[in-house]
Structure 1
Amino acid sequence: MSVPTSSPADLPAALPLVSVVIPLYNDARTLPACLEAVAAQTYPNVEIVVVDDASTDDSARIAERYPCRLIRQETNSGPAETRNRGAREARGEIVFFLDADVGLSPTSVASAVEQLAADPQVGSVCGITDKHPLLPTTKVGDYRILQSYYWRISSEGTVTPWFSALAAIRRALFLESGGLNPALRQTEEIDFGVRLSATHRIELSSQVVGRHNDEEQLSGLVRKLFRRARLRVPLYVDHRGFMRGFETRSRAVAALAAAGAVASLPLALLSPRALPATAALAAGAVLADRGFHAFLVRERGVGTAVAYTALHFAAGAAVTAGAAVGAGQWLLSPEFRSLYRRQAAAAASTDAATTDAPAGRP
């Protein structure tokens, strides 16, 4: 593996150093492909900062074989603190956050830098995960990759969510914005996106692309979606709506209808009289998200699209169930209602103390 060898004297004066910050936790399988893709970038002024969050596999030893700066955390601190640590340790004017299971296309860093330079009101440029996996995956993993790709490519432009798996941002702005909230898990990047969007635009760009691997087992995917939906409820209530440009009304309707179809299926199997209602809910779910289902047919054919539709229904049911549980928790728990307000206040009170001090994904 080789990295760009241009010295500072060889580089244009206006070409900023980009620190590619890779949070690492038990990513031994995908890390080599990730690092090799960074090394193949057309942008010449890059440093690679890998922050190992106390991995228990060979991830850190693999990273040592590559020309990167490896920072080891003594204890597991979670994804937010791991990325914060990388940003604090970075030397670049721009930080490009990259998950260790993502392999960048060769021009992604150059494109992100160009877009940030073109408009000072663009606070961050987030990338779109490709419709093909980084490494061979399961059917569940393939469905999830296609679903992530379609939702993002169809949402290209200005958005509210921030996607830390593929995100370029000026280092000073990231630190001034308070960074990611270490107290949050699964929703820390959504929280950061809301805060950043108050002052700057977040652009979702198809010029920044990476192949990745996602959840490969249905149980893991369902747990993740349920937890994220539950924890987002207080944030949605505080801001009176979904995340702009990504979570659309039609997608919410599709998830609700899919959940209804899944919930009513046992009754329909026991009583044929209930079958029309279940069929109507299933049809409504497909119609509300028909663009995605047509995309599945084009990409994988009718047979696979039908199987992936069943997975999509399970995902919609998990999201709906998580949101329902979150709504109940919001009604019953003042502590849960104030989750993001409380954490924001805590982050603001400690920001001055932590910005200049080194500190670091489950």
Structure 2
Amino acid sequence: MDAPLFSIIVPTFNVADTLPACLDSIARQTCSDFDLVVVDGGSTDRTLEIADSYSARLSGRLIIHSGPDRGPYDAMNHGVELASGAWLFFLGADDTLYADDTLTRVATFIREHDPSDIVYGDVMLRSKSSRYAGAFDLDRLLFEQNICHQAIFYRRELFAGIGPYNLRYRVWADWDFNIRCFSNPAVVARYMDMTIANYNDVSGVSKKEDEELKKRLPVFINVSVSEMFRRELSVWRKLIRMRRNRDH
């Protein structure tokens, strides 16, 4: 069987209350050229039962992996290893795709804008009922904010060339990954003027997993990892300022 165009990777951990809406939004897609990879961290509620109940609707396009992990980015790395799609997309278990034709529209964009290594759009924020939107470049990533991972599609080969999510960064590993991508002149990133997902930025699954992780890890690790990321981000910013001064 040919590899699908998309692999949708959903990390889960005790999300029985929110997972059905997430998976419904995936199963309703008008584009069926995808597989779904659910990477579970050892849930003790009905999460796995709910995920498995979508097997018939997804007709052989569902992969479920369950076992201990070191948090959402470790689960996402496992998802990359299990995925077979040409393009990878990560969706939180309490987020949803914005519309039934989201994947269809992204597929059209990819065909019309080849070559691309990254394509990304916007998300609708639950907290504000507004869009988190706009094009990014390296400067915006370094000096302002990150692209929501619910808005971004990566060509699978990027993870072999750029590397996996760095598990030192318990909260910001996707930001670190995006900086590494956008700072590489060989990586082609394109902005799509469309909303990709509804993002639960109020009580997101990653926040729940973060709280569970805090129960198991010493507080000093949380502090040291945060400080390590801030120091490295500061170095990146200084390099950009030096480049700007040199160019002018």
Give your verdict on TM over 0.5: yes
Give the whole-Å Cα distance in 2 for the aligned partners of 1:112 and 1:241: 35
**1:102 matched to 2:83:** no
Tell me what 1:288 maps to. none
Unaligned runs of 5+ in 1: 1-6, 9-14, 134-141, 244-362
- Secondary structure (helix, strand or coil) at the match of 2:196 reads strand
Offset from partner CA, 1:52-97 (integer Å, 9 cap, x none): 0122332122111112211112x23211111111111111111121
Alignment partner of 1:128 out of 122, 127, 132: 122
- The 1:45/1:55 distance shift into structure 2, 3 A limit, reads same
- The 1:121/1:240 distance shift into structure 2, 3 A limit, reads farther
CA apart distance, 1:29:
1.5
Give the whole-Å Cα distance in 1 for the aligned partners of 2:64 and 2:239: 37
CA apart distance, 1:123:
2.3
CA apart distance, 1:102:
1.2
**1:56 matched to 2:53:** no
Structure 1 contact 124–168 (Cα < 8 Å) conserved: yes
* TM-score between the two structures when normalised by the length of structure 1: 0.51
Give the whole-Å Cα distance in 1 for the aligned partners of 2:39 and 2:83: 11
Structure 1 contact 127–167 (Cα < 8 Å) conserved: yes
| Larger fraction in strand | 2
CA apart distance, 1:17:
2.5
CA apart distance, 1:115:
3.0
Structure 1 contact 126–203 (Cα < 8 Å) conserved: yes
Structure 2 contact 89–150 (Cα < 8 Å) conserved: no
Q: How does 1:218-297 map to 2 (within 5 A)?
A: 232-240=229-237
- The 1:57/1:235 distance shift into structure 2, 3 A limit, reads farther
- Secondary structure (helix, strand or coil) at the match of 2:117 reads strand
- The 1:61/1:16 distance shift into structure 2, 3 A limit, reads closer
Structure 1 contact 128–209 (Cα < 8 Å) conserved: yes
Give the whole-Å Cα distance in 2 for the aligned partners of 1:122 and 1:33: 30
Give the whole-Å Cα distance in 1 for the aligned partners of 2:239 and 2:15: 32
- The 1:229/1:81 distance shift into structure 2, 3 A limit, reads closer
Offset from partner CA, 1:133-155 (integer Å, 9 cap, x none): 4xxxxxxxx3xx44xx44x22x3
Paired residues in the alignment total 211
- Secondary structure (helix, strand or coil) at the match of 2:164 reads coil
Larger gyration radius, structure 1 or structure 2: 1
Tell me what 1:31 maps to. 19
Offset from partner CA, 1:322-343 (integer Å, 9 cap, x none): xxxxxxxxxxxxxxxxxxxxxx
- Secondary structure (helix, strand or coil) at the match of 2:202 reads coil
Alignment partner of 1:65 out of 20, 29, 53: 53
The one-letter amino acid paired with 1:156 is A
Tell me what 2:112 maps to. 118
Identity %: 25
Give the whole-Å Cα distance in 2 for the aligned partners of 1:197 and 1:36: 32
Offset from partner CA, 1:245-269 (integer Å, 9 cap, x none): xxxxxxxxxxxxxxxxxxxxxxxxx
**Greater length-normalized contact order (CA 8 Å, ≥ 6 residues apart):** 2
The one-letter amino acid paired with 2:96 is G
Tell me what 1:212 maps to. 199
Structure 2 contact 123–148 (Cα < 8 Å) conserved: no
Alignment partner of 2:150 out of 152, 165, 174: 165
RMSD: 3.3
| Larger fraction in helix | 1
Structure 1 contact 126–208 (Cα < 8 Å) conserved: no
The one-letter amino acid paired with 1:198 is S
Tell me what 1:336 maps to. none
- Secondary structure (helix, strand or coil) at the match of 2:149 reads coil
Structure 2 contact 4–84 (Cα < 8 Å) conserved: no
